Structure 1
Amino acid sequence: MILSAVDTTNSNQLIVSIEKGQYSLTVKWHDGSESEFHYLWLRDNCSTGFHEITKERSFDLLSVSENIHPTQIQIEKETLIIEWSEDEHRSVFLHSWLLEHSYSRTEDLTHKSRYQSWDASFIHRLPHADYSDIMTDDSGLYQWMVALDKFGLTIVDGMPDTIESTTLLASRIDYLRQTNFGTTFNVESVAAPINLAYTSISLPLHTDLPNQETPPGYQFLHCLANESEGGESIFVDGLRVAEELRSQCPDHFKILAEQAIPFRFHDQDHDIRQHHPIINLDSFGNIIEIKYNAHLADVFDVPANLMHEYYLAYRNLMARLRDERFGIQFKLQAGQMVVFDNRRVLHGRNKFEDSTGRRHLHGCYVDRTEFQSRLRILAQKHQ
């Protein structure tokens, strides 16, 4: 059965005709393309099935049978009206809403990553933002967060000489992530360090805390003093390195993305362990996460028939991370804060001399979930 629209010339009208099948409707759009919408999906997404205030789903899918189907369909200029075979229910869908959620039009699905990877040339276009712009203007906050989301690394200039300013800026996004190192932490050379960061030796490239079930998202490192010789910060975009590995050595990429290895941090008060693959993909094949920390890696326990190949892949990745084509290096100045995606961008530092001056960074984390939520809310106003 095919139903035609009442007026195909109306500028707001997107649906031209509809054909009923056993379990779904086939919608023909004004541009000649088609979409399929299943009856259970349509009934489940009727606007009446969501709470008026919270917008949470309140419809009970088991309140209708698996054989529910339309008894009557009407195409209006902007809406599609369906009378259902059960519970005497009537659903109204905007043409535009159906087109936006057309799950059968795979070419329209926007599942590509927003990330833009970079190499050593990024040092010449590293995004900078000003503390006062972020703190006083939501537009400034949004523009900075867009750059941070895309590139995973930014510098904030004009930071006040207080540890409070670190958390005040991070809190413009949302609440802070607490770890076994506290809600905030100081990166200084100390006599009895519990982590290599709290020494003056060189710090190899790594991501923080892959021993956690969910490693921290965005890291904030506010430079309060950097007067000693050495101590330059080093950054590498793990996404760019993983992209090249995937292209040139797909077998090595595959084993690093599929096989989990153990990570562990332990001191007198904590013993935190977790298995993770070093490279993580989303459901659509996008590289979304790198968990790499050689000094927190525990004893590998991948299957025996994969161990040798795993070590070859692991060494391949390590060598690429140290390749000068990918790394950028600079010395943070007092009044600057570097902010980066800890689950994408690897960081490290050169050795510094304690005797030549003070080096003090103050840090904290905000997780990715809170970051993306804030970014979506700001985009509604400023995009």
Structure 2
Amino acid sequence: MTAPHFTVQADTLIVTWADDTTTQFPTIWLRDNCPSGLHPETHERLLDLLEIDETPVLISATRDEGVVLLEYEDGHVSRMPIALMDAHRPGRRSHDAGKIQEQLWRADLGANGIPRHTSTMILTDDYALNAWMQDTAKYGLAIVEHLPDSIDSGVQVAERVGFLRTTNFGTTFEVINKPDPNNLAYTSVALPLHTDLPNQEVPPGYQFLHCLANEATGGGSLFADGFAMAEDLRQDDPEAFRLLCETPIPFRFSDKDADIQVHRPVITLGAMGNVIEIRYNAHLAGIFDMSPEIMPAYYRAYRAYMAKTRDPKYRINVRLKAGEMVVFDNRRVLHGRDSFDPSTGFRHLHGCYVDRGEFASRLRLLERNVTIAKAS
């Protein structure tokens, strides 16, 4: 590969790469990321930016195999890895194995289109674990098959990803019809499409629902891609989309042990304007308290998104079987269920959550470990 060419300016190093593209590296960036300013074992930054000039003066740049020697007017010399500079060019996002490009879907994906993976392989093989997690992140939804008839078997799969998220419902929870419920999930009534716990400051990321029994009449599971519905709303009704992005509404949950409330918008956008989170749960939405001047328009916007959650063009219906576990991104994929008749049979799902950060961390580690395994 052709070596890059370096052009020194007092406050900038210009790198011309083999493909003739150029990148400008401000000298303050180069000093901030100098390897000598990092702890040799933890790789945490030790350099205090206030101890160096705001614009360090660069006087020379000399290539030495895989590094460039940078000399500064104050006498400092850096050995800057060229690969590091290439991977972190200013103005360009570096590769992140924890960030998987989403593939939006609607009802035409169908129940048969949901990715399926086998629990035994996920538990014993990192390649299989990586493949399942890649699919789950891509679609926001996957099904794990052939779990043993044990309440812990779904948790074991979740723990292959990372630590379980504890909420006011515990570290794990049982979705069954039970007396004195504190949540509609613990009844037999139909649940419209929703995301779980939007009342939390940070709602749980990935939800794991392991079906242990589904013998009752009814009780089918419903799923829809909340990102797809949001993007369609952006096209169909830009003003409604804007209001749902910009107007926070109250979400709350209260029982004898907890009173949890936040104000957040239904749709959250990332830095690039892409949808990164949906908070939609009509049962946990509080009393709207925005200005009366925008309230009628907001209600129209809210109803427009609600209408999409009822539109069959977005919904997938799945009847989970004992030994199957559905895993989905709770901050993207809305879920619900049909009502069921508990007098006709037992329905029991065992659930837990793993946060998005844990999921992304495992993907990054898997990319590193799988690559090492292939090389060896």
Common fold, TM-score beyond 0.5?
yes
Find 1:192's aligned residue among 170, 175, 180: 180
What amino acid maps onto 1:115 in structure 2?
A: E
CA contact (8 A) 1:103 1:109 kept: no
**Paired position in structure 2 for 1:4:** none
CA distance in 2, matches of 1:110, 1:258: 30
1:119 partnered with 2:96: no
Give the drift of 1:258.
Answer: 1.1
CA distance in 1, matches of 2:43, 2:80: 16
State which drifts further: 220-229 or 277-286.
277-286
CA contact (8 A) 1:12 1:78 kept: no
**Paired position in structure 1 for 2:28:** 40
Find 2:209's aligned residue among 221, 240, 243: 221
**Paired position in structure 2 for 1:236:** 224
Find 1:177's aligned residue among 161, 165, 179: 165
**Paired position in structure 2 for 1:20:** 9
CA distance in 2, matches of 1:350, 1:17: 64
Question: Residues 344-359 of structure 1: matches in 2 within 5 Å?
Answer: 344-359=332-347
CA distance in 1, matches of 2:209, 2:19: 51
What amino acid maps onto 2:189 in structure 1?
A: I
CA distance in 1, matches of 2:72, 2:88: 21
Find 1:82's aligned residue among 54, 70, 94: 70
State which drifts further: 27-36 or 332-341.
27-36
What amino acid maps onto 1:43 in structure 2?
A: R
Give the drift of 1:381.
Answer: 2.5
> Can you list the C-alpha shifts for 1:142-199, whole angstroms capped at 9, x where unaligned?
1111101111111111111111112111111111100010100000111211110011
Structure 2 residue ranges without an equivalent (≥5): 372-376
CA contact (8 A) 2:9 2:59 kept: no
CA contact (8 A) 2:212 2:322 kept: yes
State which drifts further: 27-36 or 365-374.
27-36
Give the drift of 1:240.
Answer: 0.6
Find 2:132's aligned residue among 135, 144, 152: 144
CA contact (8 A) 1:12 1:77 kept: no
**Paired position in structure 2 for 1:380:** 368
**Paired position in structure 2 for 1:253:** 241
CA contact (8 A) 2:8 2:59 kept: no
State the SS of the aligned residue for 1:65: coil
CA distance in 2, matches of 1:335, 1:75: 59
> Can you list the C-alpha shifts for 1:8-56, whole angstroms capped at 9, x where unaligned?
xxx251x2241415x3222222222111111111000001111111111
State which drifts further: 235-244 or 121-130.
121-130
**Paired position in structure 2 for 1:168:** 156
Give the drift of 1:77.
Answer: 4.8
What amino acid maps onto 1:130 in structure 2?
A: T
CA contact (8 A) 2:254 2:260 kept: yes
Find 1:310's aligned residue among 274, 298, 302: 298
State the SS of the aligned residue for 1:292: coil
What amino acid maps onto 1:16 in structure 2?
A: H
- How many correspondences in the alignment? 368
TM-score between both structures, scaled by the size of structure 2: 0.94
Give the drift of 1:101.
Answer: 1.2
What amino acid maps onto 2:248 in structure 1?
A: A
CA distance in 1, matches of 2:23, 2:318: 52
CA distance in 1, matches of 2:346, 2:65: 70
CA distance in 1, matches of 2:362, 2:88: 23
**Paired position in structure 1 for 2:38:** 50
Give the drift of 1:382.
Answer: 2.5
Find 1:93's aligned residue among 80, 88, 91: 80
Q: Percent identity at matched positions? A: 48
**Paired position in structure 1 for 2:279:** 291
Give the drift of 1:140.
Answer: 1.1
**Paired position in structure 2 for 1:103:** 90
CA RMSD of aligned residues (A): 1.6
CA contact (8 A) 2:216 2:346 kept: yes
What amino acid maps onto 2:199 in structure 1?
A: N
Give the drift of 1:250.
Answer: 1.4
CA contact (8 A) 1:218 1:367 kept: yes
What amino acid maps onto 2:295 in structure 1?
A: M
What amino acid maps onto 2:363 in structure 1?
A: L
CA distance in 2, matches of 1:175, 1:17: 45
State which drifts further: 120-129 or 109-118.
109-118
CA contact (8 A) 2:161 2:358 kept: yes
**Paired position in structure 1 for 2:316:** 328
What amino acid maps onto 1:180 in structure 2?
A: N
> Can you list the C-alpha shifts for 1:320-368, whole angstroms capped at 9, x where unaligned?
1111111000111111111110000000000100110000111000111
State which drifts further: 241-250 or 335-344.
241-250
User: Could you say if the C-alpha distance between residues 340 and 114 of structure 1 is closer, same or farther in structure 2, counting changes exceeding 3 Å?
Assistant: same
